[in-house]
Chain A
Amino acid sequence: MVSLSDYLILSSVIFCIGLVGIFVNRTNIITLLMCVELILAAVNTNFIAFSHFLGNEAGQIFVFFILTVAAAEVAIGLAILTLLFRVRGSIDVDVTNSLKG
């Protein structure tokens, strides 16, 4: 039997991978988008696990919305990416630093 804490540990591991990926990744913006997706996947795992163990559907409804919002977010991310490619000719993070961070 898989217990609630197993799901939570799994989701926190996925969450950390996503978060670390964003801060460590210095090469490609597509990878950044994938890391954001990982974070959202971790959140979804959390919600579904809680929803199952609480016997409450609100969490699953939340997941539906997170999924769609994530899709919209990726769509906008890709759109910004193509724009960046047009003005820069590259999607590397290193090149995009005309604004001092």
Chain B
Amino acid sequence: MNNMYTFDTSTLWAALPEIFLLSAIVVVLLLDLFLTKPFKQATYYLTQISLFITGVMAFNLIDQPQTIIFSGSFILDNMASVFKVFMIGSTMVAMVYTRHYLIQHALFRGEYFVLVLLSVLGMMVMVSGYSLLTLYLGLEILSLSLYTLIAIARERAGAVEAALKYFVLGAIASGLLLYGMSMIYGISGSINITDIANFAANADLASRETLILNFGLVFLVIGIAFKLGAVPFHMWVPDVYQGAPTSVTLFLSTVPKVAAVAMLVRILVDGLGAMHAYWADLFMVLAVLSIALGSVVALMQTNIKRLLAYSTISHVGFIMLGFVTGVISGYGAAVFYVFVYILMSLAAFGIVILLNKKGFEADQISDFKGLSKHSPWFALMMLVVMLSMAGVPPFIGFYAKFFILQQVISAGFVTLAVVAVVFAVISAYYYLQIIKSMYFEESDKDITIVAPMDMQLVLSINAVLILVVGIFPDFWIKLSLSLF
């Protein structure tokens, strides 16, 4: 017996949520196959239960000491656990909204839920990935599930085209990322983040080694920027958001962003933190371009999904600004922004889905006309979300932007902060436009809301949270800062 091949199964507890989720996916998939038509709803409930149990397991792993298992390729730390709990929580909320949409548009199929669970699994692997291999595999589990999810509305030409577009650009992004990874592996001699960090910390920053490291770094940054949807690698975002079924857009625009930020932290902060000066320059350009383009181009949109896509691009710019600072409080601000962005994005797409009815796809800004007459409560909710996205105090979006800008200024990038504020003010215009059409315009269409009570309830809580957390943001800010 060779000692090299022994494996300590007692370390498996650190990956318990992932293992449970995988088993749950198998059960849900098989059960869905054998369920007859009247019991199809069971898949939905089973999905929610699986997510809930996985979330509880991940929650119990918070505050465990940092553990690295599987020969250094899987890490369990507070960041991983908190991100997992947050991702699972937002997926559950997204699923509540999704069900209404799926039923209204006759897309309710078991595979939908299995694919969502699979992408959550991929994201959990990404968040806990501590070698280039696990990060890549997690990313691919996520991406492959998302391509398929978009194409699930297979009679819609727009959805299939969006899937194809996302697929091609996602494949290019993976290719670039992998090329960067191969360079990093070649120069550092390891795929483990720990070893790469050691190598980068001791590398002579003026030698030829750094040149290759830098070469790989550029590819990695491009790959990550593609996945985040930062300008100039944003071409897929508006098209995919518009073409995909709204429920998929809701999922796509929220939870995967957490995973992408986690991957960014693992590779660039944990792994190549010593090279910060090099990648911060790239990030600065990406961030400014994203904020500018996201704010300006959104002004001309008439489709709400496209508008929210451009708004996402500008939010991604703000998140990247947090990483430019290069200090722990800056990273914490970026993570806080991600949490806030997801809370707002869930609510915004939730309200878009709320307006959907059988055979009616609400995706134009004009569909919001006169909402305040028909449903004053949800018009108010949308008002809260839009003001928060625009960064108006006392809503949570204000604190997120404020916190980022504060860090940017204290890191010495005053011009950067001024530019960001200018474009944030410009972007406020289109958020106000939606509010205007809700409150001051009349609709010729009948907009009665047919959504089930559970969705209305969750959506209300979601929107109220934006206000409540905005008034008491301390806990979340402390939490975000404690992750680094």
Contact = CB atoms under 8 A, between A and B. Distances in A.
Q: Do chains A and B touch in the complex (CB under 8 A)?
A: yes
B160 A65 contact: no
Interface stretch (B8-16, B79-87, B151-159, B339-347): B151-159
Interface string A26-39: 00010010001001
Size band of the A side of the interface?
35 or more
Contact of A36 (B165, B172, B183, B185): B172
Contacts of B133: 58, 61-62, 65
B158 A43 contact: no
A40 B178 contact: yes
Contacts of B157: 87-88, 98
Contact of A62 (B132, B151, B156, B243): B132
Given A65-B133, A99-B243, A80 B163 contact: yes
B147 interface: yes
A73 interface: yes
Given A36-B172, A54-B189, A87-B160, A80 B167 contact: yes
Interface stretch (B100-108, B136-144, B328-336, B455-463): B136-144
B182 interface: yes
B42 to A, nearest CB: 27
B406 interface: no
B168 A15 contact: no
Given A62-B133, A88-B157, A98-B158, A76 B144 contact: yes
Nearest to B179: A43
Contacts of B167: 76-77, 80
Nearest to A81: B164
Given A58-B191, A62-B132, A80-B147, A22 B185 contact: no
Given A98-B161, A99-B161, A99-B243, A22 B168 contact: yes
A58 B133 CA distance: 9
B296 to A, nearest CB: 17
A10 interface: no
Contacts of B171: 36, 39, 73, 77
B168 A36 contact: yes
B175 A36 contact: yes
A84 interface: yes
B186 interface: yes
Nearest to A43: B178
A59 B182 CA distance: 8
B212 to A, nearest CB: 9
B47 to A, nearest CB: 22
A72 interface: yes
B144 A84 contact: no
A50 B163 contact: no
B160 A66 contact: no
Given A36-B172, A73-B171, A77-B171, A66 B185 contact: no
A91 B163 CA distance: 14
A32 B165 CA distance: 11
Given A77-B167, A80-B163, A84-B164, A69 B137 contact: yes
Nearest to B168: A32
Contacts of A22: 168, 172
Contacts of A88: 157
Contacts of B144: 72-73, 76
Contact of B165 (A50, A76, A99): A99
Contacts of A50: 182, 185-186
Q: Which 9 pairs from chain A and chain B are nearest by CB?
A: A39-B175, A50-B186, A46-B182, A99-B239, A43-B178, A36-B171, A87-B157, A69-B140, A83-B160
30 contacts: A19-B175, A22-B172, A29-B164, A32-B168, A39-B171, A43-B175, A43-B179, A43-B182, A46-B182, A47-B185, A50-B185, A56-B189, A58-B133, A59-B182, A62-B133, A62-B181, A72-B140, A73-B144, A80-B160, A80-B163, A80-B167, A83-B160, A84-B164, A86-B154, A87-B154, A87-B156, A87-B160, A98-B157, A99-B242, A100-B239
Given A46-B179, A59-B185, A69-B137, 15 more contacts: A19-B172, A29-B164, A40-B175, A47-B182, A58-B133, A65-B137, A73-B144, A76-B148, A80-B151, A83-B151, A83-B163, A84-B161, A87-B160, A98-B157, A99-B162
Interface of B: 132-133, 136-137, 140, 144, 147-148, 151, 154-158, 160-165, 167-168, 171-172, 174-176, 178-179, 181-183, 185-186, 189-191, 235, 239, 242-243
